[in-house]
Amino acid sequence: MRVCRRLLTVSGVAAGALLFAASSAPLAAQVIRGSVVLADSVTPLPGAIVQASERGGVTAAQALANARGEFVLRLPRAGQYRVRVLRIGFRPTIGPLVPVGASDTARVRIVFRGDAVVLSAVNVRDKETCRVGADTGMMVARVWDEARKAVLSSQLSSDDAPLVADWIEYDRMLDSSGRIVRSQHVKSARNPTTHAFHSLPADQLADRGYVVSDNTGTTYYAPDADVLLSDSFASTHCFHLAAAPNDAHVIGVAFSPSRGRRDAPDIEGVLWLDRNTAELETLEFQYTNLPDVVRPANPGGRVEFLRLSDGNWLVNRWSVRMPRVAAIDKYPGTGTRRVVMSASSQSLGGVQVTGGEVNRVLRHDTLVYRQTGPRVVVQVASRDSPMRAAHARLTLEGTDYAATADEAGRIELTPVLGGRYRGRVTTALMDTLGMRAIEHEVEATDGAHADTVFLPRARDALNAACPRDSVRNGEGMLHGRVRDERARPMVGAAVTITWQTDFAFVAGGGSNDLEHREHTLGALTDDNGYWRLCGVPREQTVVVRAATDSGSDAQKARLERDGDFAGVDLVLHQQASSAAREAALLSGVPARTTASVEIEVSRLGGDALPETNLEVVSSGQTRRVVTGPTGRALLPELEPGKVVVRAKHIGYTPGEVTANVTPGRNLIPILMSTVTMPMLDTVRVTGQSRLARIDRHFEFEERLRMHAASAAFTKDDIDKRGPVDAWQMLTNVPGVKIVDSLGVTAESTRGMRVTPNLQLVPCYMMVLIDGIEMHPSGNNTAFDLRQLPKPNEIHGIEVFDGPARIPVQYSGAGDNKWCGMIMVWTR
């Protein structure tokens, strides 16, 4: 599809030549000036249509009477002209025959004496005519004439200052059901009101049709006022009266393609008029003779007309609906499914809506009209005190609409284009916890309807944000932000939470030494300086530290019995004076840098091993720490160089490993076994980069040897089976459900996943290629397995059907982690 408009262009699609523009009349030396008054010969008649016709009834000029009933007709040539006055809801008044010479200005005063047109007496009949004119003697002609008057009025102007409208133009993409807005682009403009949009000339539309396809796309054309008023339109369409099913106050004149055009792309529709006033209200039309696949999109358009208080008419709202059709490739299946190699079909991928609305109308600086548009109202409700509704933020998916709740949790967005949207509600705490926004369908209406959105309970939020094992014994979370002394966020700062337990006196050397176990949790700040740590004990004083090469800070914190969360913000204070740093710089001696070391302890099968006692020896100093619920411990500010780690855990063989650490971030993964000494795993981290061993397939081969994965396939297995696509290797794997719909996705057979707002959604498995997590593209909710490498490019595939089997170095934060993981290693 293509939309070709002067003020708004949509890349890649088009919707008919819909152009805002002002119409202009040619200047002429021959002029008829005059006024129109009512039957009392005093009261002016504003908004009346005044026409001047030459011999044969050909209209030579026409204009609207202004607020004083005055008009100006500029004529193309000298001659005699018959003047007549049209008024909506009344029969025409025929004025005098006015002679106009070259360069003359004739003056005339017309008393309007037209009789009222009573449409309420017009009966709807199941009869159509393909000739519309005053001589048909049919009721349809009467209704059609009134509709034409309003359409004509909307494109004429008086000699007063022109009316100027503030418009918004929009292009929006709806989902395939045509209900929910997925994306939207809105642009403001100011234009005269005489033409809301322009279409192709009526003769061209009659020749080419209203829907034209070529190698660049499909163009949908809408009928503008010139088309509706043309003889070409009348000669190619049949007309009949129509009654609205649930609205007795309106009557319609319906049109459809004539018999000779019923196989060409055309339009059919209805012009709806008020029975009592004969005023035109709306035009509704649909495109005809389109493929079956686009019919659910209801392709067509709607134009709304507005009569202002001064008698002027304008189009105040218009829209065109166009289907977006996409080809779906058929992929070869397995099992009992039919294999189709090259065929393709079309499906309805979405509905594009292009349109415009008038916000207000001005004459000079005087406000003539203001629209009261739809609005979205959401009441955010809190279930407990930590999750506060005040200052919650609402955004509408695919748009730039956004608003913040007041102290009572009420959010109001206005003005908003009417329609249904997928709203997303989040709070500052939810953002800090890394929780997904609560999704809720909302509707923009003119009424005061409010949608209620409930925030998750604090405990539910904690369970959603933390690994289950880390809070299974009632632990909570600390979170916060790290900044420097200038309030700038610190990226990659090491944050640790430590506390001591199991104090005991140990006799030796003639004195009693106090020993204890030190527990530590650690994390690095993100790009905004934020951090969060789960597994913090309640009613226990802990020390929160943040450290980088440029400074450090420490604070005490405590989670109370009824507190799931607590915030701790840290400010890094410089460790050396500026004079000392300058002296070090001038002397050429590099500044002292430290290393942060993260230790990950896991079983050979890949499961995290919490409560492991570690002795870490660095530069002759020994620190004793215990791994947290995720099997990790973080030690900042160690001296670079050799580090010795002694690991002990009940039921596992104790031992020690040695690693060299460098300035910056270091990861020491340790594998423990019941039969062998602890050993270093295959990955270390230096700075922010994860570096594998020289043989990048080493960990795959090791896990293959130990049968650590739920299922695994080597390149020999893949070559032997010979699949066309890699995802076919997963069709019969226990614990994995392959869904082949618009895309191919992998779901866990564990069941559905519960979102924070208590909705059930499919439990999609994570997908990694060479250790890098793959994310869904576009608006998809899961990674499309069709994007995996080709089978002849794959070294091996591993499937982990749950979190207990996922290797610890890949079991970071993420609410899909428990659904399982698929890992693909390329050759």
Q: What are the tens digits of pLDDT across the range 331-375?
A: 444 333 333 333 345 677 788 888 888 888 887 778 888 877 788
| CB neighbour burial string for 169-189, b if at least 16 within 10 angstroms, e if fewer | bbbbbbbbebebbbebebeee
Going by pLDDT thresholds of 50, 70 and 90, the confidence category of residue 566 is confident
Distance (Å, whole) CA 680 – CA 667 = 10
Cβ neighbours around 583 below 10 Å, total: 12
Residues 6+ away with beta carbon under 8 Å from 822: 730, 736, 746, 765, 766, 767, 768, 797, 798, 799, 800
β-strands 753-754, 419-426 pairing: unpaired
Q: 598 near 812, Cβ under 8 Å?
A: no
pLDDT of residue 343: 36
The residue length of the chain stands at 827
The least confident of 308-312, 394-398, 448-452 is 308-312
Task: Indicate if the pLDDT at residue 578 is higher than 90.
Answer: no
Tell which wins on pLDDT, 124 or 473.
473
Cis preceding linkage at 636, omega within 30 = no
pLDDT of residue 195: 57
Structure token pair of residue 212: 């034209």
Going by pLDDT thresholds of 50, 70 and 90, the confidence category of residue 696 is low
Tell which wins on pLDDT, 720 or 2.
720
pLDDT of residue 693: 37
Instruction: List the one residue out of 249, 294, 286 whose CA is nearest residue 270.
Output: 286
pLDDT of residue 570: 92
Distance (Å, whole) CA 634 – CA 519 = 10
Mean pLDDT, the chain, whole residue set: 77
Kind and range of the H or E run holding 583: helix 578-587
Identity at 778, one-letter amino acid code: G
Task: Indicate if the pLDDT at residue 240 is higher than 50.
Answer: yes
pLDDT of residue 107: 92
Distance (Å, whole) CA 748 – CA 312 = 63
**How far, CA to CA in Å, does 385 sit from each of 382, 440, 458, 558, 562?**
7, 22, 8, 18, 11
Cβ neighbours around 618 below 10 Å, total: 20
Distance (Å, whole) CA 570 – CA 480 = 8
Distance (Å, whole) CA 219 – CA 124 = 35
Distance (Å, whole) CA 255 – CA 235 = 11
Instruction: List the one residue out of 222, 168, 166 whose CA is nearest residue 199.
Output: 222
Please report the domains of the chain, with CATH numbers, ordered by start residue: 23-116 (2.60.40.1120), 163-370 (no CATH), 376-455 (2.60.40.4130), 461-575 (2.60.40.1120), 595-691 (2.60.40.1120), 705-826 (2.170.130.10)
pTM of the entire predicted model: 0.51
Q: Which of 135-149, 179-193, 543-557 has the highest mean pLDDT?
A: 543-557
Distance (Å, whole) CA 492 – CA 548 = 8
What number is the average pLDDT over the span 203-232?
A: 81
Cβ neighbours around 735 below 10 Å, total: 17
Distance (Å, whole) CA 683 – CA 696 = 10
Give 3-state DSSP helix, strand, coil % of the chain, rounded to 5: 15, 45, 40
Going by pLDDT thresholds of 50, 70 and 90, the confidence category of residue 406 is very high
pLDDT, tens digit, for every residue of 4-33? 332 222 222 333 333 223 333 444 479 999
Distance (Å, whole) CA 353 – CA 181 = 10
What number is the average pLDDT over the span 96-120?
A: 85
Name the percent of the chain lying above pLDDT 90.
10
Residue 643's Cβ-side half-sphere holds a number of Cα atoms within 13 Å equal to 27
β-strands 419-426, 180-192 pairing: parallel
Task: Indicate if the pLDDT at residue 304 is higher than 50.
Answer: yes
Fill in the DSSP letter of residue 126: S
**How far, CA to CA in Å, does 444 sit from each of 98, 340, 404, 406, 528?**
54, 44, 17, 19, 34
Task: Indicate if the pLDDT at residue 515 is higher than 70.
Answer: no
Task: Indicate if the pLDDT at residue 575 is higher than 80.
Answer: no
Instruction: List the one residue out of 37, 62, 35, 36 whose CA is nearest residue 51.
Output: 62
